[in-house]
């Protein structure tokens, strides 16, 4: 795309459009995805196609889902003839991808995701890609490389005990290995977003000690992180009898005064697996 055309693709706020323009950031994303010629890739929000054009020569096939009709027209004109490219116009969150792709034998299933996504729907996109603790995606991707808000990337990659470690960290790290790859400054985009960004890589896998009752783990994490800065035992007092919780924390060698962010993911799982529930809330 020429500079003039690029200027004509006026970014739309409602679709959280920020065009990536940094070579360095593009290289980092592509490198993190460790693409193989046998990979079938899904891209969400191709926009003007800057990342799409990078990916196409490296992979077996690429499916891109874009909500903006005008951008879809432009992309179709430019890339529509490439045999390994399929563009789907629609809202990624609403689409049932397998049924949309059913008529296209060469584009049945994707094993990797690589995308600079719209930040306003980061949470729901990650949930659609990974599933939830109680309902993990039954056909997990090999890897998911995303450009997201830096703060989100920090949460995803956070270690227990650090400031960024929260409910999102536990929920996502239970489902995937998460790695903070690198920061991408706001100036790498046109127009620059208000915040810095970062590349993250998620590698879905089974957690080493699975939750016996995933739904309970989900609820426990939600309640446990309920009120910020409060001790875990206070956040959980409505659902777990106080003495029982103290005993359990002692048995698991967790400080009884601990706050939610101090427990590792496996400690959350153990806690959920071992606790005797006071009432039906969990």
Burial environment of residue 163 by CB neighbours within 10 A (0 to 12, 13 to 18, 19 or more): exposed
Stretch that binds ligand SAH, among 18-26, 72-80, 156-164, 252-260 (CB under 6 A): 18-26
* Site for ligand SAH contains 164 (CB under 6 A): no
Q: Count the Cβ atoms, other than its own, within 10 Å of residue 281.
A: 11
Shortest Å, Cβ 58 to ligand SAH: 16
C-beta closer to ligand SAH: residue 100 or 278: 100
Q: Are 116 and 29 in contact (CB under 8 A)?
A: yes
Shortest Å, Cβ 70 to ligand SAH: 9
Stretch that binds ligand SAH, among 67-75, 148-156, 217-225, 241-249 (CB under 6 A): 67-75
Site string for ligand SAH, 19-48 (x = CB under 6 A): xx-----------------------xxxxx
**Going along the chain, which residue ranges are E strands?**
19-20, 40-44, 61-66, 85-89, 112-116, 143-149, 176-184, 189-190, 197-204
C-beta closer to ligand SAH: residue 47 or 157: 47
CA distances from 218 to 130, 180, 269 (A): 14, 24, 10
Shortest Å, Cβ 80 to ligand SAH: 17
Shortest Å, Cβ 221 to ligand SAH: 26
Burial environment of residue 144 by CB neighbours within 10 A (0 to 12, 13 to 18, 19 or more): buried
Shortest Å, Cβ 52 to ligand SAH: 7
* Site for ligand SAH contains 70 (CB under 6 A): no
How many helices (DSSP H) and strands (DSSP E) are in the chain? 12, 9
* Site for ligand SAH contains 129 (CB under 6 A): no
Shortest Å, Cβ 226 to ligand SAH: 29
Relative orientation angle of helices 167-175 and 150-157, to the nearest 10 degrees: 60
* Site for ligand SAH contains 71 (CB under 6 A): yes
| DSSP secondary structure letter of residue 259 | B
Q: What does the binding site for ligand SAH look like in residue numbers (CB under 6 A)?
A: 15-20, 44-48, 50-51, 65-68, 71, 91-93, 116, 118, 121
């Amino acid at each position: 795309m020429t500079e003039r055309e690029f200027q004509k693709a006026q970014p739309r706020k409602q679709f959280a459009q920020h065009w990536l323009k940094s070579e360095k950031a593009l290289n980092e994303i592509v490198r993190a995805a460790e693409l193989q010629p046998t990979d079938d890739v899904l891209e969400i929000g191709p926009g003007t196609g800057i990342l799409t054009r990078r990916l196409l020569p490296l992979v077996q096939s690429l499916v891109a889902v874009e909500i903006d009709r005008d951008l879809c027209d432009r992309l179709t004109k430019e890339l529509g003839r490439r045999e390994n490219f399929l563009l789907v116009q629609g809202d990624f969150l609403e689409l049932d991808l397998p049924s949309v792709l059913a008529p296209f034998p060469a584009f049945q299933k994707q094993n990797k995701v690589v995308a600079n996504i719209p930040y306003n729907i980061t949470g729901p996109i990650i949930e659609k890609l990974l599933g939830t603790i109680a309902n993990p995606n039954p056909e997990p991707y090999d890897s998911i490389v995303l450009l997201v808000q830096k703060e989100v990337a920090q949460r995803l990659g956070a270690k227990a005990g650090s400031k960024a470690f929260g409910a999102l960290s536990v929920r996502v790290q239970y489902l995937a290995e998460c790695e903070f790859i690198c920061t991408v400054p706001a100036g790498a985009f046109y127009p620059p977003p208000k915040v810095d960004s970062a590349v993250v890589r998620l590698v879905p896998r089974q957690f080493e000690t699975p939750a016996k009752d995933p739904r309970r783990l989900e609820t426990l994490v939600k309640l446990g992180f309920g009120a910020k800065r409060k001790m875990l035992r206070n956040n959980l007092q409505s659902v777990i009898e106080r003495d029982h919780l103290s005993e359990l924390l002692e048995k698991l060698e967790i400080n009884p005064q601990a706050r939610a962010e101090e427990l590792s993911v496996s400690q959350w799982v153990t806690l959920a697996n071992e606790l005797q529930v006071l009432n039906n809330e969990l």
